[in-house]
Amino acid sequence: MILATIFEPLKHWNFLNLLNQACRSINYFCFMQQKKIALVEIGGSHDECMFSQINALQSINAKIFLVCDSKVHERLNKLYRFEDILIVDTTMSAIGDLKKMRGIAQFLKKNQVEKVVFNTAQGGHIRNLRFLISKKIACYGIVHTIKKFNESNTQKIIHKFIRKYAVLSDILKDGIRTEFKNNVTTYYPIEFPDFGKHYLQHSDQTWITIPGGIEARRKDLSTLVTMIEQTPADVKFVFAGKSDPDREEIKQLLSELEKKNLSDRLIHFDHYISNEEFYQLIRSSNFLMPLIHPDTPSSDQYPYNQISGSFNLAFGFRVPLLIHEAYSGLEDLRNSATFYHPATFGKDFDFARSNSTNKTAEMSSVEKWKTDVQRTNYLEFLDLI
């Protein structure tokens, strides 16, 4: 009778329940060993892609080692604790930098690192590491520019020791050459520091934020004044980054705005913006606008060769995008953006503002932009689950 009572619940369990419990138990005992993972970013940029990775690894109690340059160290060390850190500032000296790469290999060996993630798995330094790192270490890489991935001779050497790659959107994965696609997954790094989740107050204004400073190579400044003219006075265009006041394109833009009495419509900064200031500004924005247009100097790069940082910021913070209509065929943008043409920006923006709540809800419903989904995706990418 006692045994029957104890085992009574078991008859309601099916095979999948038992299998699920077994998998969880296996994962638990594996993670009790605390996997040793190193994150490498020695290019001075793209550390915005590392917040999500660190959070995912912390979720399984992994031991995280950091190899980075001084700039990345300064930003990340304020937010996270690591098992050990190696700071590597490259010098552009072939012999000197080769010694630094050897130092990275020794650091990984000393700490018995099992897996390495190259946050930027491109370039000569990563190629050189291929010959120095122990073959026992499983190497993974994140690719930001797929043109080099598809065509570069340097990348062909890197291919020989990277077990798997991740690209930062399905847009980029679609552009990977067929022979590489089986080795590539999509990973959206959409977790960012919240710094207490403070919002900047501007209830009487609508902020259209353009991440980065004022510059003409990646942003279509030539049509911006026309777009500003078409919007009401309560709409402010915010450049979230340092803008050098001595640059000619900035002088020209500010002069044109002044002539048209529109100077108060532009918010920009002539000083470096801290991570805390930047993410508070993004979180507080009503819209994000990359200002990438066809037939501009960067149109051969964005968004098919590399994505704008605005995209994953929008997905992570659930801030709707404003995107040129030329890119309306891309699924990620259809789910997150309102499309415009510069000549009809005023009308297009009116619709975007009236529909912003619906667009935010739509973004929140997209399965792949949920935190737990991307954490699982990342851990599967690293063969940790």
pLDDT digits (tens, 9 = 90+) for 146-193: 998 898 999 999 999 999 999 999 999 999 998 888 999 999 999 999
| Higher per-residue confidence, 4 vs 303 | 303
Q: What is the pLDDT of residue 12?
A: 43
Q: What is the residue extent of each domain of the chain?
A: 33-187, 195-367
* Mean pLDDT rounded to a whole number for the chain: 90
The mean per-residue pLDDT over the stretch 263-276 comes to 94
Residue 186 to residue 183: CA distance in whole angstroms: 11
Contacts by residues 254-262 (CB-CB < 8 Å, ≥ 24 positions apart): 256/225, 257/225, 257/228, 260/225, 260/229, 262/225, 262/228, 262/229
| Higher per-residue confidence, 297 vs 333 | 333
The mean per-residue pLDDT over the stretch 299-305 comes to 89
Q: What is the pTM of this model?
A: 0.89
- Residue 182 CA, chain-centre distance (Å), reads 22
pLDDT digits (tens, 9 = 90+) for 211-220: 999 998 889 9
Q: What is the pLDDT of residue 32?
A: 53
Helix ranges (DSSP H) in the chain: 2-7, 15-31, 50-59, 70-76, 94-110, 124-129, 146-151, 153-159, 170-173, 224-229, 248-259, 275-284, 309-317, 331-334, 345-354, 356-365, 371-381
Name residues whose C-beta falls within 8 Å of residue 377's C-beta, 6 or more positions apart in sequence: 185, 186, 187, 188, 368
- Over 60: is that where the pLDDT of 6 sits? no
Residue 131 to residue 118: CA distance in whole angstroms: 15
High-pLDDT (> 90) share of the chain, % = 82
Name residues whose C-beta falls within 8 Å of residue 125's C-beta, 6 or more positions apart in sequence: 42, 90, 97, 101
Residue 127 to residue 160: CA distance in whole angstroms: 10
The mean per-residue pLDDT over the stretch 291-302 comes to 88
pLDDT band at residue 3 using 50, 70 and 90 as cut-offs: very low
pLDDT digits (tens, 9 = 90+) for 117-154: 999 999 999 999 999 999 999 999 999 999 988 989 99
Q: For the ranges 87-96, 139-148, 190-199, 227-236, which has the lowest average pLDDT?
A: 190-199
| Higher per-residue confidence, 264 vs 199 | 264
Q: What is the pLDDT of residue 119?
A: 97
147: helix, strand or coil: helix
CATH of 33-187, one of 1.10.10.60, 2.40.50.500, 3.40.50.2000, 3.30.750.24: 3.40.50.2000
Q: What is the pLDDT of residue 23?
A: 53
CATH code of 195-367, in short, is: 3.40.50.2000
Counting Cβ atoms within 10 Å, is residue 166 exposed (0-12), middle (13-18) or buried (19+)? buried
Matching fold, domains 33-187 and 195-367? yes
Tallying the residues shown for the chain, one arrives at 385
- Over 50: is that where the pLDDT of 17 sits? no
Q: What angle do CA 385, 137, 27 make, to 5 degrees?
A: 20
Contacts by residues 4-8 (CB-CB < 8 Å, ≥ 24 positions apart): none
Q: Which two tokens stand for residue 155?
A: 């990348």
Q: What is the pLDDT of residue 13?
A: 37
The mean per-residue pLDDT over the stretch 2-10 comes to 35
Residue type, 115: K
- Over 80: is that where the pLDDT of 201 sits? yes
Q: What is the pLDDT of residue 43?
A: 79
Bridge partners, residue 240, by sequence: 211
